[in-house]
Amino acid sequence: MLVETVLLYVLGILIVAAGLVLSIGLHEIGHLVPAKAFGVKVGQYMIGFGPTLFSRKRGETEYGVKAIPLGGYISMAGMYPPPKTEAAAAEPGGAHSRTATTGVFQTLVQEAPAEPTSHDDDARSFYRLAVPKRIVIMLGGPLMNLLIAVVLYGVVLCAFGVQQPSTTVGSVSQCVLPPTSTATSCPAGAAESPAAAAGIRPGDELVSVDGTAVTGWTQATSIIQKSPGTAIDIVVLRDHARKTLTMTPLLTERYVTDTAGNVVTNAAGVKETEKVGFVGIGAALARVQQPVTAVLPAVGDNIGSVVHLIVNLPERLVGVAKAAFGGGTRDPNGPVGVVGVGRLAGDVASLDSVPILDRASALVGILASLNVALFVFNLVPLLPLDGGHVAGAIIEGVRRSVAKLFGKRDPGPVDPSKILPLTLVVVTVLGAMSLLLVYADIVNPIKLGG
């Protein structure tokens, strides 16, 4: 059993790792296809960084895989314009266009040596494209991740389905306990629950409650909660036969929960309670396939969560540092690194008590969330991220439009390499963040269930 658990753990990690590498490869294809379509010379398409494991050149482009699979890039001619001192060299007869790369997890914007190229090559440089075409190329990668996320969410919601309360009774409380009780069994003297007294059993399917046909669990509990002290008939289907049971809901206190099932607290931080009718039954969960219309809202919710995380990233990283170096529980909704994602995937795959369909759905969900994170993160308007290049193109377009409007001289292309110090700062921060997350994911990882 231990060997099987370990193998499943490793399998979960490998599945998510392979999915991540595939997502990175497709991200770069999102850049590659429009770049070639617009005539830009692409020297390399690489998955990973570091030493090249293998590669093959087709046409003018070298395709390959490198040793460290934590990113990828395509190398485009003239991603940065030549310095103004080299402007003359950009005329027919020679050029010093600069080749750079665009990738998902870039450590630096890698720049090829400024070797002389032909005028034809310079004419095919990225920086010579119209601003809209440059934006299309740079947005191609993130939009590919968004498309992958939509497809994977479709698989999770429409193919696998979502666990939801059914109209079948899953559990029956034998006694009535206050909401603050932590007892796992009925103490002496505890009042018997109305459901237990009436003889309702796990597996009974609710047909009607107080004369109202039941179509959902929430509908049934709503009727029960509004009927304390009033005898009601509950019709159940048991062994293919209908059975009518009569019970009187007790007036009891319970915690107030929000739509996500979280306990609501007041301004003083005290958990709120309410008095409702109670019979002591719980729903059995059933996997329900969702309509296609549920996919985009789910992706949108995930995007909103990632945006909120990035906006509050400094505060969240402080929490990660405190958990890593001072103990305590990691925030399950906080940032997590590659190591943490791998550990979560392994934990999910090795849960023997969970049906294999649920585990497969969870692994696909992890990949969907990773692609949403790649989509949002790469849109941050800072170099070396794709959003930084998009921002540079937009600034250039605005400058040229303003100059044309006022009859001034064309200011020329914006050179993003001029903000290299800021780029180095961003890279340093990203590197430090990655190291912190790796350390935290090793010593104090996020655990399933929080």
The catalytic site residues sit at: 28
Both tokens of 426, joined, read 């961003």
State the Cα–Cα distance between residues 76 and 245, nearest whole angstrom: 74
Q: Which residue in 231, 229, 228, 230 sits closest to 274, CA to CA?
A: 228
Q: How far apart are CA 31 and CA 73, in angstroms?
A: 9
Residue 354 CA to residue 210 CA, distance in Å, equals 35
Q: Cα-flanking dihedrals φ and ψ of residue 14, to 5°?
A: -65, -40
Q: Which two tokens stand for residue 212?
A: 């109202």
d(CA 386, CA 24): 13
φ and ψ at residue 320, rounded to 5 degrees: -65, -45
At 385, list the tokens: 């991220």
For residues 347 and 340, is the Cβ–Cβ distance under 8 A? no
Q: Quote the CA–CA distance of 363 and 303 in Å, as a whole number.
A: 18
| Tokens encoding 164 | 């939801």
